[in-house]
């Protein structure tokens, strides 16, 4: 193999590795935020989901957490699910600590409160709050 061919092949392999690494930074495409940091609205059926304080749902670039009883918008925290550290989708909400967690394999351990404030880094910027609306028994996050 000539030096030029070797360099060309290495460039192609590097490009493929970078593309694979970027794709691995989110659990699935439904969790990816849309352009401008927004995501597609997503809904929850309050007859079957988010019925108890501490339950959460992630999708459409958002995380919604039930923080109080009742089916009013103030009963829920709605935030972007994209970690401000390196853009991974946050993994879960820990109802014992009341913190949103950005964990392995993609995340690096940042923790956020239900207002989106950073509780533990490496993230330094808060999660953006989103809007929760309720119509009947359907909660919509946009």
Contacting residues toward ligand FES, per CB under 6 A: 83, 85-86, 88, 102, 107-110, 122-123
With respect to ligand FES, which residue has the nearer C-beta, 28 or 135? 28
Compute the least distance from the CB of residue 29 to ligand FES, in Å: 17
In this structure, the number of other CB atoms found within 10 A of the CB of residue 111 comes to 20
Compute the least distance from the CB of residue 122 to ligand FES, in Å: 6
d(CA 71, CA 86): 33
With respect to ligand FES, which residue has the nearer C-beta, 124 or 135? 124
Compute the least distance from the CB of residue 67 to ligand FES, in Å: 22
With respect to ligand FES, which residue has the nearer C-beta, 13 or 117? 117
d(CA 79, CA 58): 10
Compute the least distance from the CB of residue 101 to ligand FES, in Å: 9
With respect to ligand FES, which residue has the nearer C-beta, 20 or 136? 20
- Cβ atoms of 67 and 77 closer than 8 Å: yes
What is the full DSSP assignment across 22-65?
HHTTSS-GGGS--GGG----EEEETTTSS-STT-EEEETTEEEE
């Amino acid at each position: 193999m000539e030096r030029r061919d070797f360099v060309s092949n290495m460039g192609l392999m590097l490009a493929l590795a970078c593309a694979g690494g970027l794709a691995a930074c989110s659990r699935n495409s439904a969790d990816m935020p849309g352009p401008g940091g927004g995501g597609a609205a997503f809904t929850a059926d309050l007859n079957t989901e988010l019925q108890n304080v501490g339950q959460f749902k992630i999708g459409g670039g958002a995380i919604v957490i039930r923080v109080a009883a009742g089916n009013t918008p103030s009963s829920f925290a709605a935030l972007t699910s994209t970690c401000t550290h390196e853009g991974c989708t946050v993994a879960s909400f820990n109802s014992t600590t009341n913190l949103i967690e950005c964990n392995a394999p993609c995340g690096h351990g940042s923790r956020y409160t239900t207002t989106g404030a950073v509780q533990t880094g490496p993230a330094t910027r808060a999660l953006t709050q989103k809007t929760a609306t309720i119509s009947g028994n359907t909660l919509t996050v946009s």
